[in-house]
Structure formats: C-alpha cells, structure tokens
Chain A
Amino acid sequence: MQLESLYQEIILDHYRHPHHKGLREPYDAEVRHVNPTCGDEVTLRVALKDAGAEPIVADISYDALGCSISQASASVLSDLVIGKPVSEALAICGQFVTLMQSRGEAQPDEDVLGDAIAFAGVSKYPARIKCALLGWMAWKDATAQAMKDDEPS
C-alpha cells in the first residue's frame, strides 16, 4: 500500500518520539518559519561552536506545530546535523533537498542521509514536500544568520 511507502515506520517513530525537541539556551540565532498553506510553523534555534578551521553545529533546538512529516523531518534533521561541521551539515541539507525534488526517482545515500532516506517517498507527493523541508529551511536560515553574526564587523 502507498501509505506505508510515504509514512515509513522511521518517520512515524520520529513523529511520536521527536529527538532534540524543545527550545534550549544558549543559541546564536533563532528563526520562525511557517508553511502558509496550512499554518504549520517551526521556531528553531542554532548554536554553533568554534572548532578550529570552521564552526560545528553544537545544538539545534526547536518547537514545532505541524503534521507528522514536518515533525519527523525536524527530528531527523537535528539527529543528523548536531555535532557536524557547518560545511558538512550544509552538504547533507543539499542532498536532502535534492532527494525531495526527485519525484521518487533518486537513490539516496544512506551513509550521508541516515534516517532521512525514509523521506524518499514524500518526494512523490508535491503537496507534502514543503512539510518535509520546513525544518531544514529554518535550520539553513538560522545557520546563515549565526554565521553572519559571527563575522567581524
């Protein structure tokens, strides 16, 4: 049945038991993104940590109202990205966006995307792609703001 390919067990698990949820201190940037078609929203904070050549993602914390796909996606995102150097985290985000735009045709790399490969089925449902991307776009925006604030002025 198609529903199971969309709502894979991994997605439902993350939806029922989201990881890293809740807003935490300290943080370098906070953003609020909404999906205007349904009113779903996420408030997301990013904390970066200096680690030599480039900063790493020290923490992602978030508060979200939304459907199973958007909630699970934010949970998977934080699992994947916390602890990674920013450039590597952005590369993962890039691969996730590509997967979402693939209309179900992509062969996602599990080594890079981990649990996020479970969202491959979502890319076949155009109306749901925004749900899956909501947390990721918020994270990208928050990270860009945190990096900018970090630059010497």
Chain B
Amino acid sequence: MTLDVARIRKDFPILDRTVRGGQPLIYLDSANTSQKPRQVIDALTEFYERHNANIHRATHELGEEATEAYEGARIKVARFIGAADETEVIFTKNISEGINLVAYSMGNASAGRAGPARFRLGPGDEIVITEMEHHSNLVPWQLLCERTGATLRWFKVTGWDGQLDLSTAGDLINERTKLVALVHQSNVLGTINPVREIADAAHAVGALVLVDAAQSVPHMPVDVATLGADFLGFTSHKMCGPTGIGVLWGRRELLEEMPPFLGGGEMIETVHMERSTFAPPPHKFEAGTMPIAQAAGLAAAIDYLGEVGLDAVHAHEQRLLGHALTQLAAIDGVRILGPATPANRGTAISFEVDGVHPHDVSQVLDEHGIAVRAGHHCAWPLHRALGVQASTRASFYLYNTLDEVDALAEGIRQAQRFFQVT
C-alpha cells in the first residue's frame, strides 16, 4: 500500500497557511505534536454541536449519545493496540498522567493499608528504566523511589549510535526488580528498542513492564501482546488526535488489583463518610468529568490512520527518513544523534551543527518557515550521557514530503552561512 502524500496534505488545513511573512509552513515538529486532519477537527465540532452532554450519569438522549461516543472511542483504542477488551483501556489526559497513574497506584499500594504484593515497594526493591527516557518516564519513578525507599536503576546508552547497552541486563533485571519502564521508540534518537527481549527478562524474574509508546503508536502498528507489555501508554495529540486525552492500557488482572490513583466522581462503587469502595476498571481510574469530545476526536484519528493504513504511513516515513539521513549526513559539521540508517528507527532526527547552538539553528529554520524543536527534548540525562548540551530535532509524519527534507538541509546550510561556520 502506498501513500498519496499530495492527497493526504489536503486533509490537513493548517498546511495551507503561511508563516513568517508569507512562507509556506514546513512542519517538522510532529514528534512534539502532530497536526490534525479535517476529519478529526470535524469530529470535535460535531460532538459539541450535536451530542454534547456528560457521560454515564445523564439520563437523556444527549447523555446516551455522548456516552456512546466516549465508550465507542475506548473500543476503537482497544482494537487499535490489540487489547484483550476495552476494559483494559484507561483514558488519561496524556501519557505523562498515564505513567503517573501507575507510579502513584504503586505508591498507594506501598503506603498505609498495604496493597497487593506485586505493586508494593520498599527499601531493597528496584525499578529499572533507561538513560534514553523522556522525563515523563523518568521523574515519576524517581518520585516513587523517594516515597518508598526503592532504588532506581537504568540501562545506559552505548553512545551516539543510540542503542541500549543490554550487556548489563543480567545485573539490572534481577529478583529485586519490581518494574521495568522503558520507551519503545526514543523521541530524541529515533531508536526502536528491543522491548520484547527486555520484557521477557523482566517477566522471568516476576517484574512488571511498562512501555512508553508515545512515539511508536502514531507511526507503526503496535500490539500490546506482541510487545509483552503489562502497561503501555500513548497520547492522542501525537497521532493526529486532539490534545487533552491520552491512553494507559494495562492488563485487566493488574488493573483489578491496583489501588486507585485520583479519587472523585465516577470512580466509586459506594461512598460512606468513613470509606469508599471503587468501580471496576477502567472507571476506577477515571475520576471526574473526562475529556469526552477529545475521546471522539481520538476515535476519528484512529479511523483516519486506519483508512490511510499504518503500514503505508510507516513505508512513507521510511522513505523520508532514508532521504533525510543521507541529506543531513552530507552536510559538513552536522552530526546525527542515534542510528545513521533507517533500519529499526523512527522519524525523529536530532542533530548537532558544529558552532551553531540549536536555538540559533531553529531560529534560522523558522525564518524559512521550517518548524523544528531545539533543546534537550525532555531528555536531559540522555543529552548529558552523549556529551551534548542540546540538539535540534526534525521529525516527520505522514504529511511530510521529500521536498521538505531538502528544504531542511538547505536551511541548515543557511544557518551555517549566517553564523559563518563554513
């Protein structure tokens, strides 16, 4: 299946606008947030214009329609990632909240009324992460270790080739390990990690596995069972959907045992002044009014990606990636962080330009209508490990073209000329 990029681009109204004094927008910041197709924008509008009501508690026709839209989205998400059923799908506000949900639930299991043993942490227990994690899959575990006295350990990266150093796996993953949390596809390096291999090692010692799939789910078919995950999180806004909604998938038996995270309306079964009992999952973890219209928007995004075909998206991105890696490598003074070839790699390309700070690179690119990200991309420890203060990142999605890759390369050369480093 091939992808007709000219036709795809017509679905994204924002790609028609100009920036910085009339220049066409070249949007290479999709790893940060993706643009939205008309189909998703229409789904949001239609929800608000036709079906808006609160869910689960409104005893009227609009309430039924809104509930159907919201719960229908849950079913769509479940099918999209190969969940056993929709009760394994928890809506959150983003993936950060999804990861925090697991971390705080484990913290709650460890405090006061002791929870189930496999979620309980204390001194001597270990959580394993990696050096290439986004702060979202790093800070919540630091905080959990501080609260419980558990120890945080991590896989290091091998260097600029951007691989995890698996030689330490036998030491890192041991009988003290309670949870291994790792990123499927790095938001900086593009590296796709061997999640299954690490998950199997974790399960062999009885540890749980949480996968940050924020950068993979938008770009390729992801199946939770194939990956061997116990929890998997992603966010709508990076996959053509609206902001404000994310997904945490968890295996049903785990979600049933886990203590709640946020307390409030809709997550309860019974409430007394002294104590409460809780709804079964997923509602146990969905306190308060949820992002209902956004769920309808996410459903539209899944439909959209389904119609285009994630295999076609992936194939298109591989072409862009191959061209971009070649073009960038051909520029003197440009060094790419992460794998140098498209194999086993996503479309986020971070790079250094000798003698020009990333902020200055991105400023010159912006002047030419090219939107990229500059900084440490919420992966400060990774940059430190590679000896890089910050980097510039270009990231591609289904609507990008080979011409835009060429414009990026030319923009980088202009930045070098402007700052007189060539």
Surface stretch bound by B, among A60-68, A73-81, A102-110: A60-68
Q: Which of B357, B367, B380 meets A3, CB within 8 Å? A: B367
**Complex Cα gap A131–B376 (Å):** 15
Surface stretch bound by A, among B59-67, B269-277, B358-366: B358-366
**Contacting pair A38 B390 (CB below 8 A):** yes
Beta-carbon contacts of A5-40 to B below 8 Å, as 1s and 0s? 011000010000000000000000000000001111
Beta-carbon contacts of B1-41 to A below 8 Å, as 1s and 0s? 00000000000000000001100000000000000000000
Q: Distance (Å) between the CB of A114 and the closest chain B CB?
A: 23
A residues in contact with B389, CB < 8 Å: 39-40, 65
Q: Distance (Å) between the CB of B368 and the closest chain A CB?
A: 9
* Residues A3 and B418 in contact in the complex (CB < 8 Å), given A67-B358, A68-B360: yes
Q: Which of B21, B357, B380, B383 meets A67, CB within 8 Å? A: B357
B residues in contact with A66, CB < 8 Å: 357, 359
Does A53 lie at the interface of the complex (its beta carbon under 8 Å from any beta carbon of B)? no
Does B213 lie at the interface of the complex (its beta carbon under 8 Å from any beta carbon of A)? no
**Contacting pair B363 A38 (CB below 8 A):** no
**Complex Cα gap A99–B367 (Å):** 22
Does A51 lie at the interface of the complex (its beta carbon under 8 Å from any beta carbon of B)? no
* Residues A39 and B418 in contact in the complex (CB < 8 Å), given A69-B359, A128-B359: no
Does B48 lie at the interface of the complex (its beta carbon under 8 Å from any beta carbon of A)? no
A residues in contact with B360, CB < 8 Å: 7, 67-69
The A interface, classified by DSSP as helix, strand, loop or mixed, is mixed
A residues in contact with B359, CB < 8 Å: 38, 40, 66-69, 128, 131
Identity of the chain B residue whose Cβ is nearest the Cβ of A34 in the assembled complex: B380
Q: Which of A1, A6, A39, A68 meets B380, CB within 8 Å? A: A39
B interface, size bucket:
10 to 19
A residues in contact with B367, CB < 8 Å: 1-3
**Complex Cα gap A6–B358 (Å):** 16
**Complex Cα gap A40–B418 (Å):** 21
**Contacting pair A38 B374 (CB below 8 A):** yes
Q: Distance (Å) between the CB of A17 and the closest chain B CB?
A: 13
Identity of the chain B residue whose Cβ is nearest the Cβ of A3 in the assembled complex: B367
Q: Distance (Å) between the CB of B364 and the closest chain A CB?
A: 7
**Contacting pair A39 B383 (CB below 8 A):** yes
Q: Which of A2, A6, A37 meets B375, CB within 8 Å? A: A37
**Contacting pair B374 A7 (CB below 8 A):** no
**Complex Cα gap A134–B123 (Å):** 40
**Complex Cα gap A67–B358 (Å):** 7
**Complex Cα gap A68–B360 (Å):** 7
Q: Distance (Å) between the CB of B421 and the closest chain A CB?
A: 11
**Complex Cα gap A7–B417 (Å):** 13
**Contacting pair B376 A68 (CB below 8 A):** no
Q: Distance (Å) between the CB of A37 and the closest chain B CB?
A: 5
- Which residues, 351 to 392 on B, are CB-close (under 8 Å) to A? 357-360, 363-364, 367, 374-376, 380, 383, 389-390
* Residues A68 and B20 in contact in the complex (CB < 8 Å), given A3-B363, A38-B359, A39-B380: no
- Interface CB pairs A-B, < 8 A, 29: A1-B367, A2-B20, A2-B367, A3-B363, A3-B364, A3-B418, A6-B363, A7-B360, A7-B363, A7-B418, A38-B358, A38-B359, A38-B374, A38-B375, A38-B376, A39-B376, A39-B389, A65-B389, A66-B357, A67-B357, A67-B358, A67-B359, A67-B360, A68-B357, A68-B359, A68-B360, A128-B359, A128-B363, A131-B359
List B residues at the A interface (Cβ < 8 Å).
20-21, 357-360, 363-364, 367, 374-376, 380, 383, 389-390, 418-419
Which 10 A-B residue pairs are closest in the complex by CB-CB distance?
A67-B357, A67-B359, A38-B375, A39-B376, A38-B390, A3-B367, A39-B390, A68-B360, A67-B360, A37-B375
